């Protein structure tokens, strides 16, 4: 029995099975993922510096967004809602400026917000899991307990905890993103090992 394939199917097979294409397909995400993990570990080691850098970066973004919104409000002032957009942009720019000129106070404020989120999330998950008793509710209850404990630790050590909480959260996000990229690159490598013509050839 002979098999045939269309030019499009042959092209797809060559893309999947070409060694150089396979190397680029999974090698680049793997490299980026490893670099992100290394950077995240460094950010975790220098959590205080990471906290300050994160606040300054956030302040720059807010200030730029506020200025752009004010400019947009003036450009569209004849279309209505000028005051709403102007005040929103002004508030965003002021908050961004405060983040830039008072980074330590901003870090302390963000730390309180994170502690409040941990308390709220822990209470919601814990109470919901106990009341509903759905399948796997024990894991949500455990999450709630851990979140409440972390919130209590952050508040008990505040304002000293401001030096490591924000940086730790940012570092954990960077490390998680790096691990995700590495896992995705391994999946791409496995997909690239499909034998030439496998899954594409059709019986005549």
**Does 197 fall in a domain?**
no
Q: What DSSP state is assigned to residue 204?
A: -
The token pair at 188 is 């791409």
Lowest pLDDT segment from 2-11, 40-49, 117-126 = 2-11
The domain boundary, picked from 67, 85, 101, lies at: 101
Q: Does 120 have pLDDT greater than 70? A: yes
H helix and E strand count, the chain: 7, 2
Note whether 93 and 107 are same-domain residues: no
Domain count, the chain: 3
Q: Could you tell me if 153 and 107 lie in one domain?
A: yes
85, pLDDT greater than 70: yes
In a domain? residue 168: yes
Q: Residue 203: beta bridge partners?
A: 3
Rounded-to-integer distance, Cα 112 and Cα 98, Å:
17
203, part of any domain: no
Domain membership of residue 137 (yes or no) is yes
Q: What is the model's pTM?
A: 0.59
For residue 204, tell me if it sits in a domain. no
Q: Which pLDDT value is given to residue 1?
A: 47
108 and 96 co-located in one domain = no
In a domain, 200, yes or no: no
**Is the pLDDT reported for residue 109 higher than 60?**
yes
Reported as a single tens digit per residue, the pLDDT across 152-198 is 888 887 877 777 777 887 888 888 888 888 887 777 777 655 544 44
Choose the final residue of a domain: 82, 101, 120.
101
> Does any domain span residue 68?
yes
Could you tell me which residue, 204 or 143, shows the higher pLDDT?
A: 143
> What is the arithmetic mean of pLDDT over 44-58?
82
Instruction: Please provide the average confidence, as pLDDT, over all residues in the chain.
Output: 75
Question: Which of 54, 56, 42 has its CA nearest to residue 170?
Answer: 54
97 and 108 together in one domain: no
- Domain that includes residue 170, residue range: 7-45+164-192
The verdict on residue 80 lying in a domain is: yes
Q: How far apart are CA 133 and CA 125, in angstroms?
A: 11
């Amino acid at each position: 029995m002979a098999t045939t394939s269309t030019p499009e199917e042959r092209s797809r097979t060559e893309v999947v099975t070409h060694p150089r294409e396979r190397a680029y397909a999974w090698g680049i995400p793997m490299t980026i993922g490893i670099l992100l993990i290394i950077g995240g570990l460094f950010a975790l080691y220098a959590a205080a510096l990471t906290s300050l850098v994160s606040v300054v970066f956030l302040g720059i973004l807010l200030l730029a967004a506020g200025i752009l919104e004010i400019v947009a409000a003036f450009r569209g002032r004849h279309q209505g809602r000028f005051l709403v957009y102007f005040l929103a942009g002004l508030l965003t720019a002021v908050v961004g400026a405060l983040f830039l000129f008072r980074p330590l106070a901003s870090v302390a404020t963000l730390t309180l917000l994170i502690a409040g989120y941990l308390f709220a999330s822990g209470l919601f998950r814990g109470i919901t899991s106990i009341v509903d008793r759905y399948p796997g509710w024990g894991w949500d209850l455990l999450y709630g307990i851990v979140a409440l404990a972390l919130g209590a630790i952050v508040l008990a050590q505040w304002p000293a905890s401001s030096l490591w909480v924000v940086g730790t959260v940012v570092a954990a996000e960077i490390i998680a993103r790096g691990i995700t990229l590495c896992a995705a690159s391994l999946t791409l490598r496995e997909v690239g090992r499909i034998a030439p013509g496998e899954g594409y050839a059709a019986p005549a």
